[in-house]
Structure 1
Amino acid sequence: MKLMLTSKGLSNKKLTRSFLKLLDKKPEDTSVCIITTAATNQKSTHPRIKQAKEIFLQLGIQQVDYLDVEMDDPIHLLNYKCIYIAGGNPVFLLKHIHRSGAHVILKEIAERNILIIGVSAGTIALGPHLKIINHFTPDLFVTEADFSLDGVGLFDFPIMPHADREDIFPSNHTISERIEQYEQKFNEQVVLLPDDEVIITDSVNKTFYRLN
């Protein structure tokens, strides 16, 4: 399994180098599919998703396509050498991952050792559950009363993207204070993921390591 878990995608040279090292092929022989679903109304027209595509093209990748699991058949994901799950609304994303059966496809892709890149909501959705999102942004769940918190389950620990961005999660309490509250409530440790860092799997030893 090859996972590259990020808060902001290939947002700096360090993350770009990490991506290139994880590829089995030369960039020109690689195909990438960007899952746009978390961007809700904008999807493939979202500026950050368009930017992600441009970064891949600049790296020499010839084929960069979009797929929306709300509308498209996720079976097409099997045709690509890299899957990039863009950020946005994690509740909306995971709902349609499960409804479309994309969770089954993503597990198969992981078993094939094809690189999967998670970005913010995409990173969280690949994990065990969305409890950390419910803790920080419960308003996202207001219209999803019957929604399951279960993630795709490619790893078993909760991750907090944007862990260094108090501006994204305004509150009377700091992110660190709220993380401590969460860990005490659910008795599980949260892995913090600042914007400029990445967590990568070692596909041989089945372990995770951090580049910072």
Structure 2
Amino acid sequence: MGFTQVGFIDIEYDNLQLLEQCQIIYINGGNPFYLLYQMKKSRTDIILRDFACRGNMIIGVSAGAVVLGPNIEIVHYFTPEMNSIKLRDFKALGLTNKIIFPHYDREDLFLNSEGKSIEDRLQEYESLHNCMITRLKNNQFLISEYLIE
């Protein structure tokens, strides 16, 4: 893709001023609860907001995409057991208004004791919360503009 330099920054331990030198930030997947918690604790959320305001690109994959949206409540709905840190505030970065559901094609990741499919549960969630979920399969992506100026 023409990148001449790639660096890895751990927001829990590394100097976050390094993020300000980046042209593109790629946020990897993992546990969305832990990721969001660490982003807020380290103030990476503020750095990312400023980064976006300057017109820079942020790429989120899996949990990294979910935390860019308004909240991570959909994660709690599907996998509350992932919230091992007992996060209570599910408000995310709000850089986009898209609520992302990654791995839409992976029923094996989201088994349900009632035998409901991912789609059945997403429709149920949308109805209960009067919202629209953006479903992304593992081979799909979404390009979205920021909500901030």
- Normalised by the length of structure 2, the TM-score is 0.90
1:147-206 CA-partner distances (Å, limit 9, x unpaired): 310101101231111111112212221000110111121111111111111111357xx7
CA distance in 1, matches of 2:82, 2:16: 24
The residue identity in structure 2 corresponding to 1:119 is: V
Q: State the one-letter code of the partner of 1:176.
A: E
Number of residues of Structure 1 aligned to a counterpart in Structure 2: 145
Partner of 2:13: 71
CA RMSD in angstroms comes to: 1.6
* 1:75 shift after superposition: 2.4
One-letter code of the match for 1:201? S
State the 4+ residue runs in structure 1 displaced beyond 3 angstroms: none
Displacement of 1:90 in angstroms is 0.6
1:128 aligns with 2:70: yes
Listed one character per residue, the Cα deviations across residues 119-144 of structure 1 (whole Å, up to 9, x for unaligned) are 00000011100100000001122431
- Distance, in Å, in 2 between the alignment partners of 1:202 and 1:89 is 24
After TM superposition, the structure 1 = structure 2 runs for residues 123-202 of structure 1, keeping only pairs within 5 Å, are 123-144=65-86, 146-171=87-112, 172-201=115-144
> What is the CA deviation profile of residues 62-114 of structure 1, one whole-angstrom value per residue up to 9, with x for unaligned ones?
21111111112322211011100001111110000000000011011111111
Partner of 1:21: none
Segments of structure 2 that go 5 or more residues without pairing to the other structure are none
Q: Is the 8 A contact 2:96 2:145 kept in 1?
A: no
Larger RCO: Structure 1 or Structure 2 (Cα < 8 Å, ≥ 6 residues apart)? 1
TM-score by length of 1: 0.65
Q: For structure 1, which runs of at least 5 residues remain unmatched after alignment? A: 1-58, 207-212
Cα pair 2:72 2:92 within 8 Å, conserved: yes
| Paired amino acid for 1:200 | I
Question: In percent, how many aligned pairs have the same letter?
Answer: 36
